[in-house]
Structure 1
Amino acid sequence: MTEQLAEITSSDEVTLHFAIALCDGTVITTTFDDDPVTLTMGTGNLTENLEKTLYGLKPGEKQSLILEAENAFGPRDEEKAYFMPRSSFPSDMELEPELVISFATPAGDELAGIVQELDEAQVKVDFNHPLAGHDIVFTVQIISINNP
């Protein structure tokens, strides 16, 4: 049941278009040229900070906000970049800077790391979100809201 006058609240299923861009205009991701996405609020489909910007919006509304790094994907944390022995990686893996590698956590989750630098003995892998430390422009257009 879609409420055409409803505002987005927690647990709503929301169909929307969105775009994330850097403040210099570089588009990181967008759905505006494709099909909209449907997500359920509060389930982690969007970061908590991005989700907060959606509350109160209604179908048909569009907004574009500049979010400072700490209110978007957080500040960059140099302690999340580690040197690892090169022997920790498969010998046939072609390592190079900017390569994204998926690592398994002890809890069984997956965590992406980005190779920053390497030499014969070690590899520096950054586990920060790729947009950590960047101010972003978050644009959304709400298509519909379904309150289950």
Structure 2
Amino acid sequence: MTEQVIGSNSEVVFHFSIKLSDGSAADSSKVHNKPAKLVMGDGSLTENFEKCLFGLKAGDNKSFQLAPEDAFGQPNPDNIYYLDRSKFGVDVPPKVGTIVAFTQQDGTELPGLIRDVAGDSVTVDFNHPLAGQELTFDVEIIEVTN
């Protein structure tokens, strides 16, 4: 039986770690020992991130750096909103640095980071927290199915 290598429609189970440019850990699937699973080309990863995985097989370990555009993108100013303090309940007062989940019209939740509180105006950033960062990804491929 030949080993399955990652191709354009492969289903991949893998562990990953994300490190910031200063070497500190931002995220890791190993913390809770829950590997990630995706189908290549399903839009979960950017095109350049996927290219880094092509040709790998179960048991492979690889480390690669991604520019912000290839990871979580650059921060988008359209994702920063100014909300009235009255939108926040007394149980969750707006505090700089707090991440608050906002329920959208379709019922899904969208996390926002409170960047500033000035009087009755609260600045909420809905960009991904890792947007604008150059990141190092370490991957350990567990399983590949074609």
| TM-score, with structure 1 as normaliser | 0.83
Give the 3 Å change call, closer, same or farther, for CA 53–108 of structure 1 in structure 2.
Answer: farther
Displacement of 1:87: 0.9
Letter in 2 for 1:25: G
Displacement of 1:133: 0.5
Letter in 1 for 2:135: I
Displacement of 1:40: 2.5
Structure 2: unaligned runs, 5 residues or longer: none
**Distance across 1 between alignment mates of 2:117 and 2:16:** 36
Structure 1: unaligned runs, 5 residues or longer: none
Look up the match of 1:26.
24
Give the % identical residues.
Answer: 35
| TM-score, with structure 2 as normaliser | 0.84
Displacement of 1:15: 2.2
Look up the match of 1:114.
113
**Distance across 1 between alignment mates of 2:103 and 2:31:** 33
Look up the match of 2:35.
37
Equivalent residue pairs, number: 144
Displacement of 1:128: 0.4
Q: Does 1:142 align with 2:136?
A: no
Q: What is the 5 A alignment of 1:1-148? A: 5-32=3-30, 35=33, 37-41=35-39, 42-43=41-42, 46-49=44-47, 50-147=49-146
- Contact 1:14 / 1:40 at 8 angstroms: preserved in 2? yes
**Distance across 1 between alignment mates of 2:102 and 2:145:** 36
Displacement of 1:79: 2.6
- Contact 1:67 / 1:136 at 8 angstroms: preserved in 2? yes
**Distance across 2 between alignment mates of 1:85 and 1:68:** 35
Give the 3 Å change call, closer, same or farther, for CA 43–101 of structure 1 in structure 2.
Answer: farther
**Distance across 2 between alignment mates of 1:33 and 1:94:** 30
